[in-house]
Amino acid sequence: MLADCRACPRDCGVNRLEDRWAACKTGRYAVVSSHFPHFGEEDCLRGWSGSGTIFFGHCNLRCVFCQNYDISQAIKPGLAAPGSPPADIARMMLELQGRGCHNINFVTPEHVVPQVLEALVEAIRLGLRLPIVYNTSAYDSLESLRLLDGVVDIYMPDFKYWSSEKARTYLKAENYPEAARAAIREMHRQVGDLVVDEDGLARRGLLIRHLVMPGSLDETRAILRWIRDELGPDTYVNVMDQYYPAGAVSGERYPEINRPLSRSEFLEAKQFAGAIGLRRLDERRPHPRLMGGTSR
């Protein structure tokens, strides 16, 4: 795959084994921006000891509003931190396991699936036993996802936009909606609905995120209806209100989304999700161990 890159829907075809790159600005080795126990994820991932996140640099999308713009797009390849060989990423996983994290959470891995698999072989050989979370924009290739079948325990795609027009404008990827729908279907086929254990921790399954965007409730409604109709009402969905203007959004560029999401827009989105029958909507309730209590 790296010799004629098809790791994502861009299908760039460059030889990344020779350290060439195209859309994702990533050559032979994945660039890791940071790794640490993350307490900002959903309760079923962060638990009481955190989700072991490994943030990959660069991205195969160009979201104009990206809240991680500094590591996804602003990095110039010649100035970025050097890529991390598989053994280095494996050591990061084992470090996070040693710190008590409940899972290994790969963030923005769409363009580095081959490198992730290389690292996992080494990490498992050295004793990695945690569930694997694949935290993605959903701009994934089916070829990559099929390589992950039986490897990833929890898929966490963010379904961003429904229409090609808005995907072209805000993500710079007109084929994003079609690719995301195909990818999420494949993820659900592999792992099914989200399974949570007696401690409230996710063990296996699909968790879909959707960031509600200003002035785009029609997109939200279409995505939520598709989830219900295609995947079922028991699909675990996090309808998110964290949007704020970031990245390339400014007063003169993309003025229509240069404002925070209003409270009324978010409430309407959540109410719609419940009204159409989605039964498992994420609610933030800190784990009892974080509150000084005990778990079940």
pLDDT at 296: 34
What's the topology of domain 16-291?
TIM Barrel (3.20.20)
Where exactly are the structural domains of the chain? 16-291
138 contacts 183 by C-beta, under 8 angstroms: yes
Q: Is the pTM of this model over 0.85?
A: yes
What is the distance between the alpha carbons of residues 228 and 224, in angstroms, rounded to a whole number?
Answer: 6
Mean pLDDT of the chain: 93
When pLDDT is cut at 50, 70 and 90, the band that residue 74 belongs to is: low
153 contacts 124 by C-beta, under 8 angstroms: no
* Nearest by Cα to 177 from 244, 117, 222: 222
Q: Which residues touch 76 (CB under 8 Å, ≥6 apart)?
A: none
Residue-wise pLDDT for 85-108, tens only, equals 999 999 999 999 999 999 999 999
The angle formed by the CA atoms of residues 71, 86 and 9, to the nearest 5 degrees, is 55
When pLDDT is cut at 50, 70 and 90, the band that residue 67 belongs to is: confident
Q: Is 146 exposed, middle or buried, given 0-12, 13-18 or 19+ CB atoms closer than 10 A?
A: exposed
